[in-house]
Amino acid sequence: MSSIRQTLGDPIDRVRWRSKQNLDFGYLMMYCQPKGTYYVQLEDDILTKPAYLTKMKNFAVKASLQKKEWLILDFCKMFKSVDLSMFIIFFVIFHNDKPVDWLLEHLIQTKLCRFDRDLKDCKKQKDLVWLHHKPSLFQHIGTHSSLKGKVQKLRDRGFGKLSLYYAHKDNPMAIVSTTLKHYKSHSIERCYFGDTFFWGMTPKAGDNITFTFDPPIPLERYFFRTANSEHPEDKLIDATVEVLPLYTVSKIPNHLSVTSDGYYVIGGFRIMKGMANGFVPHVLSPVKQLRISITADSDRWLIINEILIKTFKDEIETLMK
C-alpha cells in the first residue's frame, strides 16, 4: 500500500483505506465465486428481518424466472456468482482511484448508458439491472464509520420500526433488585417481566443486579442481551454471572470460582456483543439467587434489552413439544 497515489484530493490515509477496501472486495469475490450461486456483501452492524435468506433467494429466483437480466439485487448488495469476474476486474483496475460504491455506479453506467442520451434514460437502463427489494430486509445500526472521526446515523425507512427490547413474559417469578438507578420507567423489574428495556445510569465496580427466587428453582440456563439499536454502545462487558445455591456444594466443579460471599461464578459477558449466555451446572441447583456483578467502572449508561431465565422444567416441556 506504500505505492498508493493520492487521488480526488483526499488525505493519503483515506485513499489507502478505500483502496484497500476495493482490493478486499475483489479478494472476497474471488474466494467466494466458485462456492455458491449468489454472492452477498453485508455490513457487520445490521439488523435483519426474519427469514431474510429465504426472501433473498425467492426474490432472485423470481427475477430470473421473469427473464430479468439483473446484475445487482439491492438488499445490501447481491450478485450472481457468474457475474463476479466483471466486478473483480473493475475494482482491481481502479482500486486507487475511487471508493467502491462509486466504482460500482461507474461500472453499471459504462455497461448500459449511452453518451447520446440524457441522465433520465441512463437511470431507466440502470433500473432494469439494479433491482430493489421493498420493504428493506436490513437496517444499518452502527453510528461510527470505519473512517476515524466520522459518525453516521443511517436509517432505512422501508425497514420499519426498530425493536428496542425482546420481551419474555414467562420468566419464573422472582424479586428483582439492583444498585443501579434507572432512567424514567425503564426499571429492571419491568425489563424482567417483558414490559420494556432496563436503562441504568453509569455502572461502577461493585454494582449488581440480583434475581431472588422464592422458593428456589432448578435453574437450567440464562441469557442477557445488552444495548439496543438506538444506543449500541450502552452495553455490558465487565461483569460476571453468579448463582447462590440452596444447599452447600460438597464438590465444586473445577472450572468454577467462588466469591467471598458464597456465589459461584458461572459465566460472563462477551466483549464484542455485550451478551451473556450459558447453562447452570446441575450440581448447583436449586438456586436461591442469580446475580450479575459489575467488575469495572463504565463511562456509559447500561441498557439490558433482553432477559431470559429457563428452569430445567421449562427445558423438558420445550423438548416434549
Whether residue 145 contacts residue 151, with contact meaning beta carbons closer than 8 Å, is answered with: yes
Q: How far apart are CA 86 and CA 29, in angstroms?
A: 11
**Exposure of 41 by Cβ count < 10 A (0-12 exposed, 13-18 middle, 19+ buried)?**
middle
What is the pLDDT averaged over residues 11-23? 94
Stronger pLDDT, 255 or 102, i.e. the higher one: 102
What is the pLDDT averaged over residues 164-168? 89
The architecture of the domain spanning 175-320 is Sandwich (2.60)
What is the pLDDT averaged over residues 246-266? 88
Could you tell me which of 294, 299, 305 has the C-alpha nearest to residue 180? 294
What is the pLDDT averaged over residues 141-160? 48
pTM of the model: 0.56
Whether residue 107 contacts residue 87, with contact meaning beta carbons closer than 8 Å, is answered with: yes
pLDDT for res 314? 60
All structural domains of the chain with their residue ranges = 12-159, 175-320
